Amino acid sequence: MTHSDYECLREITSTDTNSDELKFHALKRRKSFQKILPYICDFLSDRKHLFCGYVVHKKSILVEKFVLDCIEPFFYEQGFDMSSKGGIISYANLIHSCLPVFMSHGWYDAFLNHYQAFYREKNKVTLQSLHQHCMSATCKAREMLLPFVQAPQLALDEVRHPAYKTQIFDSILYGLIVHMRHAFNIKNMHVLYDQTKATTTPDLKRTIETLHNYKNPITVSDICTVHNDIRIDNVSSCDSKQEPIVQISDIIAGLFTYCANDLASGGKRLEPFLEKCCSDSNIIHKFRTHDITPEELGTENSNSSISMHAFQSMKR
């Protein structure tokens, strides 16, 4: 998008904010937000060929990372490799399906919040809070958390290890890059990211900053290997106040989140928004990260950039 696109968006929202920076959460708080919402959608609909979205389910990411950080180390100590044959995802699905039923959705949300604080802070205080919350589960529910409950120190050693695993972040970022490559037919990229609380966490920051080393084949999942034909010329952070393109991205991302939250609470904004602003080429919309297949990355029959392993595909 160009500077004129940015000026057009500012004109649409000019009655809504006097801020130097366009932020979706600020627009949403304005009384006139519902009036300008259709105009923002029209703006995006006219430019749907200039952006793409990659939507994943945050709870799915968190519970998979919990298994990777807090369950897998225990089994590794016992000589069992959970990362093979879909063990991580299977265990995550078990937790995600059963814990809310056993303990209520409120308890489950608090559990994920405790875990999120732990993997961000990586200290004994947040570890103890997570452990205490897990101990408050009923006996049947606690069985699913037993490896962590029995050996919480292993989880702390895991997240503090210099080679701390970031595969889930990797798969999301690499998947987005591959999708952009085939949606827009571009190979040379400049990655610009905003300095936020999320992008400054050590594991995600490290993943972002090493994107320029994206040269070798990358295993995205058991059935998906990306053979790189993409060159990332530069990776840099910025202050969004100085970068109009990042502000436009914030509006797009915020609108997706707003519509998805509305749908989750019984509203119907997401479907018309997707119909108006998105097409098959510029949006991947999945509720679980592991539901995303190579075909849905926009790479089917595209220069062999993704190789499918037949045996794993048949199993799936």
How confident is the model over 127-186, as pLDDT tens digits?
Answer: 999 999 999 999 989 999 999 999 999 999 998 887 777 666 776 777 777 777 777 777
pTM, full prediction: 0.65
Q: How far apart are CA 52 and CA 122, in angstroms?
A: 33
Pick from 221, 217, 201, 207: nearest CA to 88: 221
Residue 289 phi, psi dihedral angles, 5° rounding? -60, -40
Q: What is the pLDDT along the chain (316 residues), one digit of tens a residue?
A: 778 888 888 888 875 445 678 888 888 888 888 888 888 888 888 888 888 777 777 788 889 889 989 999 999 898 888 877 678 888 888 898 889 999 999 999 999 999 999 988 889 999 999 999 999 999 989 999 999 999 999 999 998 887 777 666 776 777 777 777 777 777 788 888 888 877 777 767 777 877 777 766 766 666 667 667 778 888 888 888 888 888 888 888 888 878 777 766 667 777 777 778 777 677 665 555 555 554 444 443 333 333 333 333 333 3
Give residue 227's identity as a one-letter amino acid code: H
Neighbours of 58 (CB within 10 A): 11
φ/ψ region of 65 (left if φ > 0, alpha if ψ in -120 to 50, else beta) reads alpha
